[in-house]
Amino acid sequence: MKRELERIEIPGEYDARRRSWDVVRAAFDEREPVTRPRRNVRLLAIAAAVAVLVAAAITPPGRSVVNSVRRAIGVEHAESELVRLPASGRLLVDSANGTWVVHSDGSRRLLGPYHDPSWSPHGLFVAAVRDRRELVALDPKGNVRWVKPQRRLVRSPRWSYEGYRIAYFVDSTLHVINGDGTGDRAIGPADPRIAPVWRPRTHVVAYFSGGRERVVDVDTGKKLPGQPGDVQRAVHVANRGARSVVLVNRRQVFSGAGRLGEPALSPTGAWLAVTWPSADQLVFVRVRGRPKLLAVSNVAHQFGAGANVAGWER
């Protein structure tokens, strides 16, 4: 009964939510920047607490406003800085500053002005885009191995299961190149808004073209019938009104107000990492075993604007 009552929309509740969020946002925008991130968190928490109390006092649906503000801010009791990962492996983080490699102990390295990165198998190399028109392969220390320039926009490089092939887009055409930078060839027209997906343990790639799913063996050029899950990944984000949800094999494991970044599973599949831009947080969700939720705030300060998880070493 308690949950059913909380779902009922109280008259004036929507306006109250907007007013309370405006107070929080104004307080956040007016804060003084300081060098210690932990102090920033305290200031934000104090401003948020004041806004909650004011909103609860001046609006009838006080409890609903409190819950709404809490959800808008993000996960409570988040750490102020990323000091370790909850599982083994390394994260790739893409931001306005470039591509970062984050180690399990929390140490991180900025590889350079690369974007849209992805790991090769076992984290030996990274494929990324430079200057929007170059496909680059580099090692996790930032040493460039090869560069493939194009005249048009490059995006969404994805390695095959053993690292012998990379599928990527050149404008609205799917290309495949060998892992050593040779043998680049066009496969066909494609929708670059949806990244290509390799079928496990094959050189068969799935992609969208003309609103339809296409599947092709890139070694033979043979077109194949699609299979469930070829393009629809097992882990993805779906929009549901004002909230976004993370789905793992069609099971909801996390939701948050506004937009969420693309999620990534840890090498064992036990943990999931996803960025929550409106909360300026990096969230870790344990999806196997006993549920657990961890979060880190000040993501933009640590990595740069628009930070997004691009992969967890597999």
Q: How far is 83 from 4, CA to CA, in rounded Å?
A: 40
pLDDT for 267 equals 93
Examine the pLDDT at 310 and tell me if it is beyond 70: yes
pLDDT for 233 equals 72
73 pLDDT band, cuts 50/70/90, is low
Q: How far is 26 from 47, CA to CA, in rounded Å?
A: 9
pLDDT for 240 equals 87
CATH number for 91-312 (one of 3.90.1570.30, 2.40.110.10, 3.40.190.10, 2.120.10.30): it is 2.120.10.30
Residue in 118, 90, 102, 109 with CA at minimum distance from that of residue 262: 118
Examine the pLDDT at 277 and tell me if it is beyond 90: yes
Residue in 63, 65, 81, 61 with CA at minimum distance from that of residue 24: 65
72 pLDDT band, cuts 50/70/90, is low
Domain boundaries, the chain: 2-73, 91-312
Q: What mean pLDDT do residues 269-277 have?
A: 96
Q: How far is 80 from 78, CA to CA, in rounded Å?
A: 6
Total residue count of the chain as it appears in this document: 314
**Mean pLDDT taken over the chain:** 82
pLDDT higher at 65 or 77: 77
18 pLDDT band, cuts 50/70/90, is very low
End-to-end CA separation in angstroms for the chain: 44
Q: How far is 276 from 297, CA to CA, in rounded Å?
A: 10
pLDDT for 299 equals 97
Sole residue written with tokens 């779902």: 7
Examine the pLDDT at 149 and tell me if it is beyond 70: yes
Q: What mean pLDDT do residues 277-289 have?
A: 95
Q: What mean pLDDT do residues 254-275 have?
A: 95
105 pLDDT band, cuts 50/70/90, is very high
Q: What is the pTM of this model?
A: 0.76
The answer to whether 181 and 149 are in contact (CB under 8 A) is no
Least confident of 20-29, 117-126, 207-216: 20-29
What percent of the chain has pLDDT above 70? 76
Examine the pLDDT at 13 and tell me if it is beyond 60: no
Which token pair is 23?
């107070």
Which token pair is 28?
């956040």
pLDDT for 142 equals 96
Sole residue written with tokens 């490089």: 157
Which residue intervals of 30-126 are DSSP H helices?
Answer: 37-58, 62-73
Q: pLDDT tens-digit profile of 154-183?
A: 999 999 999 999 999 999 999 999 999 999
Give Cβ neighbours of residue 55 (< 8 Å, ≥ 6 apart). Answer: 16, 19, 20, 23, 62, 65, 66, 69
What percent of the chain has pLDDT above 90? 69
DSSP designation for 258: S
Q: What mean pLDDT do residues 82-98 have?
A: 97
Whole-number Cα distances in Å, 51 to 17, 302, 306: 11, 26, 26
